[in-house]
Amino acid sequence: MRVPSRSPGQQPGPPASPTAPARRRPSGTTPRRLPTAEPDLAAYRAAVAELLVEVGALADATSTRARQVLIDERLREPALAAVLDATPQGLIGARETLLLEMARYQPNERTSARDLTALVRIYLLSRIDVLWWQDAPTFLTDDQVNGSAELVDLEWLRRRDLLRFRYQEQPATMLGRAARGLRRRLRPDVTPRTAGLLFRRARREVVALLNDIGREFAAAAPPATPPLWVTSLVRSAEHQYRLRRLGYAAMLPSGHCLGYSVDVELAWFERFGARETLAELLLNRQKAGELNVIDEGQAWHLCLAPTARRRLRRAYEAEMGV
């Protein structure tokens, strides 16, 4: 099948274990040296958007070979190759991983990748997270997340009214899950339909970022709009693999496993007339170089840029009085 043409163009809290997250790189790889000039992320995002149009035109099952040829050709283009080659996997590794993800893809009710086009978008844009934080340590296990001194307890902060966003935890027992199911049937729209946080922990910089976004959203949204809602924060690689087995589009490596990525609810705010307000706010922060933003449908994935880390750490310390 012919490939379609393309147009040119230190916070108080519970005691923490001294266990530190381990560093991990893909086996057989060595640390990659970033190019002298940083890749053009605006050009990369534009090239991804163009590629998605072509992937969408080859969505039927009979176009597998044509999609492979398309991915093979397009990823070698300078705007895309510059970013992918600067990640730990390199261009070839990223290409092979994407093709494997596409070959394994099965649509289901859980995944944020509703089709192959969404899968390609999520994978390629998440490589910006990996580019930014490739030297950060990975939280490999649940115990490392729960014991890390780099993370603070959100519940400790929430009880002291120090958070400008909301979240809910995953029920830990059968009784808890049954109770949540009953609440959803009785009041289906009172909260977003999300499993909730397995870990109620976050990096200090990320707390400051979410508080900042939460305040800005509260000021810009229509009256009576609920606060910013966070659906996912730090994850262990162990949990990321669990999510993959359940059918979620949980990419590896992931900014979530480094503690610098979060997911925030978007779709639920439509009923309050505030979805577009929040979307515009997030995209403006991306344009300012503070975030990487990925539209994943119901929720949007955000990753903090390294250049904003120091400012946000200072903001957290000033806000919390530490």
In angstroms, the Cα distances linking 25 to 20, 88, 137 are 16, 7, 9
**What is the pLDDT at residue 92?**
96
193-248, pLDDT tens digit by residue? 787 899 999 999 999 999 999 999 999 999 999 999 999 999 999 999 999 999 89
Q: Do 93 and 163 share a domain, yes or no?
A: no
Closest CA relative to residue 315, chosen from 163, 244, 209:
209
Q: Specify if 19 maps to a domain.
A: no
Nearest Cα to Cα of residue 279 among 130, 270, 308, 40: 270
> How high is the pLDDT of residue 12?
39
282 and 217 together in one domain: yes
- What does the pLDDT read at residue 298? 93
Q: How confident is the model at residue 147 (pLDDT cuts 50, 70, 90)?
A: very high
Is residue 84 located within the same domain as residue 148? no
- Tell me which of 12 and 300 has the higher pLDDT: 300
Higher pLDDT, 1 or 118: 118
Same domain, 301 and 189: yes
The distance from CA 74 to its chain's CA centroid, rounded to whole angstroms, is: 24
**Inter-CA distances, 17 with 8, 155, 286, Å:** 54, 18, 35
In the predicted model, what is the mean pLDDT of residues 283-304? 97
In this prediction, residue 110 carries a pLDDT of: 84
Same-domain check for residues 215 and 285: yes
**pLDDT by residue (tens digit) across 35-57?**
457 899 999 999 999 999 999 99
DSSP letter string over 5-20? P--------S---S--
User: In whole numbers, what is the pLDDT of the chain averaged over residues?
Assistant: 87
Total domain count for the chain?
2
Q: Which two three-digit tokens encode residue 106? A: 């099965």
If you average pLDDT over residues 102-118, what whole number do you get? 89
> Encoding tokens for residue 301?
């994935």
Q: Are residues 92 and 196 in the same domain?
A: no
**197 and 298 share one domain:** yes
Residue 171 shares a structural domain with residue 307: yes
Across 25-42, average pLDDT: 62
User: What span, in angstroms and rounded, lies between the C-alpha atoms of 57 and 63?
Assistant: 9
Those residues with Cβ within 8 angstroms of residue 17's Cβ, 6 or more apart along the chain or in another chain: 143, 146, 147, 148, 149
Nearest to 200 by CA among 166, 238, 242, 160: 166
**Domain enclosing residue 240, as ranges:** 142-320
Tell which residue, 103, 171, 117, has the closest CA to residue 295. 117
Residue 257 has pLDDT above 90, yes or no: yes
pLDDT at 218: 98
Position 106 confidence tier, pLDDT thresholds 50, 70, 90: confident
The answer to whether residues 259 and 184 belong to one domain is: yes
Q: Is pLDDT at 113 greater than 90 in this prediction?
A: no
Please report the pLDDT score of residue 173 as a whole number: 62
Give, as one character, the DSSP assignment of residue 171: P
The 10s digit of each residue's pLDDT in 164-180 is: 999 998 766 666 555 55
* Mean pLDDT score, 147-166: 96
Closest to 234 in 3D by CA, of 114, 152, 123:
152
Do 93 and 229 lie in one domain? The reply is: no
Q: Is residue 34 part of a domain?
A: no
- Cα(179)–Cα(185) distance, integer angstroms: 10
Among 130, 161, 178, give the residue marking a domain's end: 130
* Sequence-separated (6 or more) residues with CB below 8 Å from residue 242: none
The owner of tokens 């300012």 is: 288
- Same domain (yes/no): 168, 190: yes
For residue 93, the one-letter residue type is G
151, 123, 159: which is closest to 234 by C-alpha? Answer: 151
Q: Which of 31, 52, 29, 198 is nearest to 122 (CA)?
A: 52
Residues 170 and 301 occupy one common structural domain: yes
The residue among 51 and 9 whose pLDDT is bigger is 51
